[in-house]
Amino acid sequence: MTNNKTPIGEKSIVLIGFMGVGKTTVGQLLADKLNRSFIDIDEEIEREYQMPTTEIFKTIGEKKFREKEKETVICFANQRGKIISLGGGAFMQKEIRDACLQNCIVFHLDISWEYWKDRFGTLIESRPLLQNKTMEEVEALFHERKKTYADHHSNVMTDGFTEEEVAKQIINLIELPEN
């Protein structure tokens, strides 16, 4: 019998998409539902530097953050059976894209600009890349990055869906190994 589900075996699931689309929230829900361990790359980096991302950007700089991000994603992308939520900018690095696409199943959490722009106010405090940008500049970044997120295994539209519904959509798209 054939179906349209992606058999994932023990491969790790990676969530990509623009900042604030819900990668961390949905990733944690997925991990709970699938009984897999959850890795949030931003949280891993924050734990290592013992400070929030905004502070890392201010004191250590974005360049060092990106280097640590690359090292951290590549380390986890080589592991099996995990749910891994990337930071919004991680997929812009080719080595990260290659490692995730080769070793894991990559889901793009998609959102339209119309939906995303209402989330701006809740995100600005904790996302350094949104600070000191006009809404037009954020919109340009949003559309520019979508071109790179197009490199994925499966797309999940989140517009109008709760975090819980998005997690369920992903579960419906995959075929887990039988125990």
Specify the residue, 8 or 88, whose C-beta has the smaller distance to ligand SKM.
88
E-only strand ranges, the chain: 6-7, 13-16, 37-40, 82-85, 105-110, 154-157, 174-175
77 binds ligand ATP (CB under 6 A): no
Stretch 27-56 residues interacting with ligand SKM (CB under 6 A): 42, 53
* Backbone angles phi and psi of 12, in degrees to 5: -75, 150
- Closest of 121, 114, 122 to residue 160, by C-alpha: 114
108 binds ligand ATP (CB under 6 A): no
Sign of the Cα torsion 39, 42, 45, 48 reads: negative
Q: Which of 24, 53, 72, 158 binds Mg ion (CB under 5 A)?
A: 24
Stretch near ligand SKM under the rule CB under 6 A, chosen from 1-9, 82-90, 97-105, 160-168: 82-90
- In whole angstroms, the minimum distance from the beta carbon of 178 to ligand ATP comes to 30
Q: Which of 72, 127, 156, 170 binds ligand SKM (CB under 6 A)?
A: 127
- Residue 152 · residue 108 · CB < 8 Å: yes
DSSP conformational letter for 153: S
- When CB distances are held under 5 to 8 angstroms depending on the partner's kind, the choice from ligand SKM, Mg ion, ligand ATP, none that residue 21 binds is ligand ATP
Specify the residue, 16 or 105, whose C-beta has the smaller distance to ligand ATP.
16
How many residues belong to the chain? 179
In sequence order, the 6+-apart residues with CB closer than 8 A to the CB of 27 are: 15, 38, 40, 83, 84, 85
128 binds ligand SKM (CB under 6 A): yes
| Interacting residues toward ligand ATP by CB under 6 A | 17, 19-25, 42, 85, 87-88, 119, 122, 127, 158, 161-163, 166
